[in-house]
Structure 1
Amino acid sequence: MSAVPHDAATEAPRRPLPETLLAALRTRFGERCSTAEAVRLQHGRDESPFPVTPPDAVVFCESSEEVAFVVRLAGEHRVPLIPYGTGSSLEGHLLAVQGGLSVDVSRLTRVLRIDADDLTATVEAGVTREQLNAELGLFFPVDPGANASIGGMAATRASGTNAVRYGTMRENVLALTVVTGTGEVVRTGTRARKSAAGYDLTRLFVGSEGTLGVMTELTVRLYPLPEAVSAAVCHFPDVASAVRTTIQTIQLGVPIARCELLDVNAVRAVNRQSGLGLREAPMLLMEFHGSPAGVQEQAETVQAIAAELGGEDFEWADTPEERSRLWAARHRAYFAGMQQHPGTRSVTTDTCVPISRLAEIVEASVADAEASGLPYYIVGHVGDGNFHLAYLVREGDAAQRATAEAMSERMVRRAIAMEGTCSGEHGVGLHKMGFLEEEAGAGGIALMRAVKQALDPLGILNPGKIFRA
């Protein structure tokens, strides 16, 4: 079974919003209910390769109660409703494929509570990760690259560069306030670090991509700032050597905090965009956290492993300014890659496999990409077996798009065959519904449908995503 026919999902039937619904929204929200074309277009695009598919109206909510009002009203009129944070998702999560309302929670920006003694923070869903870390003397580690909202990160079960040491949003969300598909405001979880009380509803919502409820408040784990932080880069003769260095590092139990792969194409792109002057060869960008002695020991161990596998030019970045410069360039790799090829769109896919199979899948995927003739680049949070391959296709070139999608499909199937997953962090959205069916099986999909029916009986929450209606 292949992935969803790309762009076919946008052909689902749409009907105009009922005038009574719009009147009720305008009475309650005034100018915060918008049908302006520019606003709708903004809320009908993300970073996926799908066409812009705007909602019929956008409502800017500022509280859980306002979200609940909109959900109940949408239910009364059987109108689709799509939660919106910052618009940085990659798999078509935000597209209004059946029309309806976009519920923008970007104005829910209050940091409600910071409990330094318990290492927790409670925030509204529109708080971004950079905003949260700017207000802390502590550290929220989940870093997907984009300055995403905490609510959106939880909805897509985001991870990012620190996941190898600190985990993903699944491990770092303790409690939620969520509006279900019936408009009920429910609270899940507590500030306690663990619980054996009942079903784990918090983790049910984390990763649900807006199909089970609209998150409005979240309690997340915090961590002490590391006593010492050091970053390093190391270059390799080929991608396989860099990946094998990562595998051995993890298998030895080195508590590395970040371990990022950039292939030669990605290094070349960030050099040209950010003027880094890095050697243009496959590279690992690493970071070590701990005591000064511990950081030094970790780095020396990894340096020795890398040297045995052909790693060269092991360079340190000890100052905060130099570390920030390197990581900022890494986070800009997505746009830097496209800037090398003007007029292209990125068809980006990610997979995650058991660490022992990482070199095998990366080598096979590189060979496939090289044979295609399409420009591409690879970046990856390889410390936990997760990597991204971006194929750059000319805007509107159906043949190139089909080639990229075929390679993406082969890559994902390799991961599933290796007992990995079709997505380590991007999520399913529109792009990977068919692959989820292969990964979860008929029984798993049936259970997901049953949960969806229980929490969203009218089917109004982000319809057409994760699995087919």
Structure 2
Amino acid sequence: MSHPAIAALTARFGDRIETGQAIRDQHGAGDSWHPPAPPEAVLFAGTTKDVSDALAICHAHGFPVVAFGHGSSIEGQTQAVQGGLSLDLTQMTKVLRVSAPDMDATVEAGCTRQQLNEDLRETGLFLPIDVGAHATMGGLASTRASGTMTVRHGTMRDRVLGLTVVMADGEVIHTGGRARKSSSGYDLTGLFVGAEGTLGIITEVTLRLAGIPEAAKAGLYSFADIAEATETVVEALQCGLCLNRIELLDALQMRAINAYNGTSHPETATLMVDMAGSADQVAADLDMFGELAGGHGAAAAPCETPEAHNALWKLRHSALYSARALRPGAKSLSTDVCVPVSSLPQVIADIQAEIAAAGVIAPLHGHVGDGNFHLVMLFDGPEEQEVVRGLHSRLIAMALEAGGTATGEHGVGLGKKLYMQAEHGQALGIMRKIKAALDPQGILNPGKIFDL
């Protein structure tokens, strides 16, 4: 027998409430290793009022609600671990407003970054959040996502100016605005960015945009080892080069990329580097980076054409899928940590030594300019999974000891909540109090980030 909330939702939304097994299964599993957990029903919302009405109904019945974008989350954010309603926002795709002079835009939560950047093309502006997934703005804001351009443009925290948020009881609020700075009241916008739908559901996002640079050039630099590569990165950052992207890939990841894409790049520790700015600045800074890399024994392969430039970043965005292809049929625990850049060589060396001793296949790639790296640890069966989970715990312990964080951009969800106490200490209690104040019934994405 279905929950009374489903009957009330059906009375309000009719056939937009779906309860078929296939659609529920689709909404109960993200792109992660966590077990699927389907909701009891799915609603395809079309407006903020739809979201408000749905939450008011669910609040009245104590029925859990999990917001859903494109389901690309890595850490189990979309799993409906207590059942309830999956609130799908992918039909809310409007670009509501663009101001080219102010370099900002307001979009609905279901708009993707690809869609927005296509709409912005003629304005000379873009949103510089370059994640590998086909993700929605609501999802990117909710996980405080970033990507390959973080070293220059920051994360979603730096890009979100304001939000429209529906609270647990259906109340609609607006946070922030269009001003580039404010000293007015609590930073509620920052509170909801990264909250993973546990405090409210984002339906509109006002974004700070960037200008498309006059010129961009890239190159691939192959090093004898990761330490030489990361030392080059530290020097490049200290020189103030116009770095747009600076990505690290280990030898195993390069082997995976070659096999997956049919390429033949050197299978050693590698930096993929992108400079962006004026033509003269880009040319000069790429030359300087080449000198720095050469000082650490790197072999350089600059991209001579726009087509080669685009091909290089297409290779980078294939990293996760090429890593998984190293062991067809296996599952993957894809994780990320972020540490001070100077700590990268030691943390990477220590975890790779433990991975090698355990006999686990785990390619490494990451946004080395901001100290964020990923491991894709492949496993098959419960015994191997336990080994991988042990390595995962060790990695996070190393990151925290180095002054880093358990997750640089994937978010907490189910996968990282075990480590929140170690990272945040007493501050975790404050997070729980905020959650209890804004969602006293605990209906918004329950079981994620921490347990009450």
Residues of 2 paired with 1:350 and 1:40: CA distance? 28
Aligned counterpart, 2:421: 437
Aligned counterpart, 1:115: 99
Residues of 2 paired with 1:185 and 1:230: CA distance? 45
Change (3 A) 1:318 1:212: farther
Q: Deviations over 1:90-122 (max 9, x none)?
A: 111111111111000010000000100000010
Unmatched segments (≥5 aa) in structure 1: 1-15
Aligned counterpart, 1:172: 159
Aligned counterpart, 1:420: 404
RMSD over aligned Cα, in angstroms? 1.1
2:196 to 183, 202, 209: 209
How far is the alpha carbon of 1:318 from its aligned partner? 4.3
Q: Deviations over 1:160-196 (max 9, x none)?
A: 1000000000000000000011211000001111101
Q: For residue 336 of structure 1, what is the amino acid of its counterpart?
A: S
Aligned counterpart, 1:13: none
2:260 to 264, 269, 273: 273
Unmatched segments (≥5 aa) in structure 2: none
Residues of 1 paired with 2:62 and 2:328: CA distance? 42
Aligned counterpart, 2:30: 46
* Map 1:26-425 → 2, pairs under 5 A: 26-136=10-120, 137=123, 138-312=125-299, 314-394=300-380, 397-425=381-409
Residues of 2 paired with 1:264 and 1:30: CA distance? 54
Say if 2:242 and 2:281, in contact at 8 Å, map to a contact too: no
Q: For residue 63 of structure 1, what is the amino acid of its counterpart?
A: T
Q: For residue 334 of structure 1, what is the amino acid of its counterpart?
A: L
1:450 to 422, 433, 436: 433
Residues of 1 paired with 2:304 and 2:62: CA distance? 56
Q: Deviations over 1:227-276 (max 9, x none)?
A: 00111100111122212211221133223110011111211212222223
Q: For residue 439 of structure 1, what is the amino acid of its counterpart?
A: E
Q: For residue 102 of structure 1, what is the amino acid of its counterpart?
A: S
* Identical-residue share of aligned pairs (%): 45
Residues of 2 paired with 1:171 and 1:319: CA distance? 32
SS of the equivalent of 1:198 reads coil
Q: Deviations over 1:186-244 (max 9, x none)?
A: 00001111101011100000000010010000000111110001111001111222122
Say if 1:240 and 1:362, in contact at 8 Å, map to a contact too: no
Q: Deviations over 1:410-452 (max 9, x none)?
A: 11111111111111111111111121111110x2111101111
Q: Deviations over 1:309-339 (max 9, x none)?
A: 1211x12224332222221221121111111
Q: For residue 132 of structure 1, what is the amino acid of its counterpart?
A: L
Say if 2:142 and 2:194, in contact at 8 Å, map to a contact too: yes
Q: Deviations over 1:60-83 (max 9, x none)?
A: 001100001111111111111000
Say if 2:18 and 2:41, in contact at 8 Å, map to a contact too: yes
How far is the alpha carbon of 1:17 from its aligned partner? 4.3
Q: Deviations over 1:12-60 (max 9, x none)?
A: xxxx642x32222223222221011110011011122111111111000
Say if 1:17 and 1:79, in contact at 8 Å, map to a contact too: no
SS of the equivalent of 2:144 reads coil
Moved more, 90-99 or 332-341: 332-341
Say if 1:351 and 1:421, in contact at 8 Å, map to a contact too: yes
Say if 1:361 and 1:415, in contact at 8 Å, map to a contact too: yes
Aligned counterpart, 1:467: 450
Residues of 1 paired with 2:38 and 2:311: CA distance? 36
SS of the equivalent of 1:207 reads coil
Moved more, 292-301 or 116-125: 292-301
Say if 2:62 and 2:441, in contact at 8 Å, map to a contact too: yes
SS of the equivalent of 1:187 reads strand
Say if 1:182 and 1:455, in contact at 8 Å, map to a contact too: no
Q: TM-score, normalised by structure 1?
A: 0.94
Residues of 2 paired with 1:252 and 1:166: CA distance? 17
Aligned counterpart, 1:10: none
How far is the alpha carbon of 1:455 from its aligned partner? 1.3
Aligned counterpart, 1:24: 8
Residues of 2 paired with 1:238 and 1:77: CA distance? 58
Residues of 2 paired with 1:68 and 1:236: CA distance? 54
